[in-house]
Chains A and B, each alone.
Chain A
Amino acid sequence: MNWTWFHKWGSPKWFFQKTEALVLWFGFLCLILLVVGTVWGLAFAPEDIKQGNSFRIFYIHVPSAILAQSIFMAMAISAVVGLVWRMKLAHIFVQVAAPIGASITLLALVTGAIWGKPTWGTWWVWDARLTSTLIQFFIYLGIISLYQSIENRDTAYKATAIACLVGIVNLPIIKFSVNWWKTLHQPATFKLTEAPSMAAEMWVPGLIMLVGFYLFFAFAVLVRMRSEVLEREKRTAWVREYLEKKNVL
């Protein structure tokens, strides 16, 4: 197998040049998907027979909850790449994905609470799914503060990467919490192996939102990574050229 691509992506300069157009594409696509998904979910999808219109919170709550866990998964994989191959970009990814992940987890928690009030009659219960997701939020915050508390950048990268690997034990707990414990939270509505039990006119806008959320993450993480690459490489000739091109210098 040819591994040249892997080494090229390890080069900050290559990464910076290749992602310039990609960022705009991700931003453009996620804007379209999120607008279409929101309008569809809010105004055109039918209401739920039991839950009425409060069901429309589904279109934010479920994609954000799925994305919140995917981001952590991506951070843990990236942490391994950073630790094993010492790839700086992988460490940068972990560092910049953490605040995005925290904000998305918070969104899942808050929209869940708002949905819980009309559906369960309470904003919050200390149930397995809710509690494990709250712990996930604290893990994100812990990773952010761990990175910020260590002066030496390489040490901070290593410590955060190890924290990600430890923190990953919470992911299966969130995933299986609805099966392992008796909880208020309903079990998974969608399974990869089965056709969805929900009507297509209800889940299609949800799928659009989910893809839109993923693209938004890709967009936000690339914008942040590009800034960190610039900061790290500011003394090089190619950054100087970039600054001149952007009329900053």
Chain B
Amino acid sequence: MYFDSFADFIAMGGHGTFVWMAYACFLMVIIWNLISPVMRRRQVLESARRYWRRADAENQPPSVD
């Protein structure tokens, strides 16, 4: 560990605000890049589910891949 105490680690020699702000932005970008694809996946699965519910009711065969 480079720092002597936890308080030193938080303070970052007076640069704490800047360092922690930068790492908070990093975390936010990571989180956004996790949440937005998960939401898209849910949306896609739901639309595929709805398609097949209707297709099954109307006895429609799958299209050729």
Contact = CB atoms under 8 A, between A and B. Distances in A.
Given A46-B2, A230-B44, A248-B48, 7 more contacts: A42-B23, A43-B2, A53-B12, A54-B12, A56-B19, A118-B18, A233-B65
Q: Please report whether the interface of chain B is mostly helix, strand, loop or mixed according to DSSP.
A: helix
Contact of A236 (B3, B37, B62): B62
A160 B52 CA distance: 31
Going nearest first, the 6 A-B pairs with the smallest beta carbon separation are A53-B12, A237-B62, A234-B48, A54-B15, A57-B22, A236-B65
Contacts of B7: none
Contacts of B48: 230-231, 234, 239, 243, 248
> Contact residue range for chain B?
35 or more
Contact of B15 (A52, A103, A216, A239): A52
A67 B47 CA distance: 33
B15 to A, nearest CB: 4
A117 interface: yes
B57 interface: no
Nearest to A238: B65
Interface string B18-55: 11011101100110111011101100110111011101
B30 A216 contact: yes
Contacts of B64: 236
A73 B32 CA distance: 22
A53 B29 contact: no
Contacts of A115: 18, 22
